Amino acid sequence: MPNLVEILHQEMRLCNYSPKTIKAYTRIIGDLYKKVRKPLRELSENDIKIYLLGLHDRGLSSQTVALATNAINFLYRDVYKRKDYVSLRHPKRSQKLPVVLTRTEIERLLTQSKNLKHRLLLAISYAAGLRVSEALSLRVRDIDLEELIITIRQGKGRKDRRTVLSQKLITDLRALIAGRDSAAYLFESERGGKLTAGTASAVFRAALKKAEIKKDASFHSLRHSFATHLLENGVDVRYVQELLGHANIRTTQIYTHLTNPALKNIKSPL
């Protein structure tokens, strides 16, 4: 198993997979080995399906099972290169509407943090539609205060893109980056390096609690809210897709279910 993990790491790095995906695939293949307790090269299609069904039985989400399916397909197709292997199909993913905060809730949320760095982390993630990993990876040089543009480098799918920067954040951003090196992380940890995703989530949860918002929201809800509010403002869905960095327009279109004005105008018969 140690040799397999090393080979898996190597093959995934050659294919330019992100460290997060490499870690996830390695964990899944390790779990598969623990469950079957025999050489993975010798597993039959039925052995693999029994393992995936076990994930269903453990109550794991369809997204988690789809991730496991991807990892197993990569192992047999790209590492073992088994010619008789037929890639397994992904399970149908559940369609849950994202949790979105209203504009008023966003305003309340952003007034709760007295720490400039923490407040800007939440504000810029909403105002630019960033994933938590993208916000935490920003460097001072990625912020263009003149053109009001943020450059996201090597985001999901290892792609660079640009998104918008709010005029309202310029004064606070100037204060945050004053005298700092252009290569420095925008949101640095007190111990050096960038803040962790755990810290970002804790900052969000604390602000959510202080704002007395009862929704089951997460840090990612800031990105959901960005997309929804742009569509409500009349921005074309394809521009929203580009700003979010979605490869497929269908991923962006889920937000159109939250912005249908005709639906909001329908009154209940009760």
Residues with active-site annotation: 131, 156, 220, 223, 246, 255
Pull the structure tokens for residue 30.
């390790």
Pull the structure tokens for residue 197.
């995703």
Query: 45 vs 49, 71, 84, 259, 264, CA distance in Å?
Result: 6, 14, 10, 43, 48
Is residue 109 a contact partner of residue 207, using CB atoms and an 8 Å limit? yes
Distance CA 250, CA 103 (A): 24
Residue 193 backbone zone (phi > 0: left; psi -120 to 50: alpha; other: beta): left
Query: What does the angle CA 215 – CA 217 – CA 222 come to, to the nearest 5 degrees?
Result: 125
